[in-house]
Amino acid sequence: MPTKKLVIRYEQDLQLFPDFWQKAGLVFALVGLLSFPFFASEYWLGIGNEALIMIVGAIALMILTGFAGQVSLGHAAFLAVGAYTVSILGSHYGVPFWLAIPAAGLLAALVGLAVGPFALRLEGLYLAIVTVGLLFLVQHSIKNGVEEVYEAQSFTASMHSWFVEAGEERAGLGSFFQDSSFFGLVLSFKQKLYLLFLLLAGITLWVGRNLANSTTGRAMMAVRDRDTTAAVIGVNPARTKFIAFGLSSFFAGVAGAMYAYKNTTLYLDAGTGEPFSLGMSVSFLAMVVLGGVGTMFGAVWGALIYTVLFPLAEHLGEMLPFPASFSSEHQAALIFFPLLCIFLIFEPMGLFGIWLRIKRYFMAWPFRY
């Protein structure tokens, strides 16, 4: 059944917005997203910032797991690297945020490329176990390496607009946290942070969408389906997996930098590894599966639905007779994840499958076949 208009040239197939309605939808979406921080309350503005962070992190995991088929449970490790990188660069060296964010992505990419050689010989659950080991290794390095070097158990994510000389200003939150005025319009820190996060999420989505249509992206999908067959038709599986790990960890590092700027203070729990724990990696994996594996649509909408529904599950958990020892997060997990499993039993393609059925209905209307 049809899901898009018939194309007769490669240029038409590669267009991101091929028809009028998609271009109009893009314009309306941009207007809504840009006006959101000026009408939303403080609570929903915080939810919006959290959703943009999750979108970047979900796209990063989609490149690795959805496109290249490499299962990873150590996604939180790359976010931790990115978060601590921007915190250290800002609070200890006075590096501005626009330089610290790409530096965080590059350092996370180096860590991701270090895992690449293991991906050449391991697949599936075996690779997942290795990535879990990487997560514990990063946690150990932070607790027993980074914290000891800088003699601190917590780090402040200072967000400077320009380079700062040595002094007390480095220890503060930075100039970006102060309100700014543009042509008479006063922007608070959360509003500026939302616009910055929206730009980063838009760039990440644009890169991911173009990657899916590129030669590299199609090579990743060939390796995902069958690496031996991909090698026969001329694809280099080793090179493709290295690229997937590098790109995925880079954008995960950017998501970690966004997380640090939103929460301002980083503290890694020695017992549970929170916030960069195995639970965070599982949450990102749940977003990808909920939205639909292998699509940018799935990464974006999976992250949005997860970000909105999980807090609602926390409020619902307070009304149910859970043991008093259960935290609100544990209650939300006990509600959300069983519902997610039930949803995937009836809709294995996730939200993307529902979207395809809606498109098919309107493409075939008024006929029913």
Q: What is the pLDDT of residues 126-142, one digit of tens each?
A: 888 888 989 999 999 99
Give the relative orientation of helices 42-61 and 20-39 as an angle to the nearest 10 degrees. 140
Supply the DSSP string of 184-208, one letter for each residue: TEEE-HHHHHHHHHHHHHHHHHHHH
For residue 334, what pLDDT band results from cuts at 50, 70 and 90? confident
Q: What is the CATH number of the domain that holds 353?
A: 1.10.3470
- Whether 184 shows a pLDDT value over 80: the answer reads no
List the structure tokens of 135.
Answer: 């997560």
Lowest-confidence segment of 163-172, 179-188, 251-260, 274-283 by average pLDDT:
163-172
Phi, psi of 307 (to 5 degrees): -65, -35
- Whether 333 shows a pLDDT value over 90: the answer reads no
The answer to the question of residue 187 being in a domain is yes
The answer to the question of residue 259 being in a domain is yes
For residue 168, what pLDDT band results from cuts at 50, 70 and 90? low
Give the C-alpha separation, 204 to 176, whole Å.
22
- Whether 218 shows a pLDDT value over 60: the answer reads yes
Closest CA to 61 of 197, 242, 199, 208: 208
| Total structural domains within the chain | 1
The answer to the question of residue 137 being in a domain is yes
For residue 75, what pLDDT band results from cuts at 50, 70 and 90? very high
Going by DSSP bridges, is the β-strand pair 180-182/265-267 parallel, antiparallel, or unpaired? unpaired
Half-sphere exposure of 210 (CA within 13 A, CB side): 5
Name which residue leads in pLDDT, 364 or 35: 35
For residue 194, what pLDDT band results from cuts at 50, 70 and 90? very high
What 3-state class would DSSP assign to 212? helix
Give the C-alpha separation, 78 to 281, whole Å.
10
The answer to the question of residue 14 being in a domain is no
The answer to the question of residue 10 being in a domain is no
Question: According to the model, what pLDDT value does residue 3 have?
Answer: 61
Question: According to the model, what pLDDT value does residue 314 have?
Answer: 72
- Domain of residue 202, residue span: 19-364
- Collect all residues with Cβ–Cβ distance below 8 Å to 33 and sequence separation of at least 6: 198
The answer to the question of residue 7 being in a domain is no
* Bond prior to 275 in cis (omega within 30° of 0): yes
- Whether 2 shows a pLDDT value over 60: the answer reads no
For residues 45-58, average pLDDT: 94
Give the C-alpha separation, 362 to 277, whole Å.
43
The answer to the question of residue 219 being in a domain is yes
For residues 325-354, average pLDDT: 80
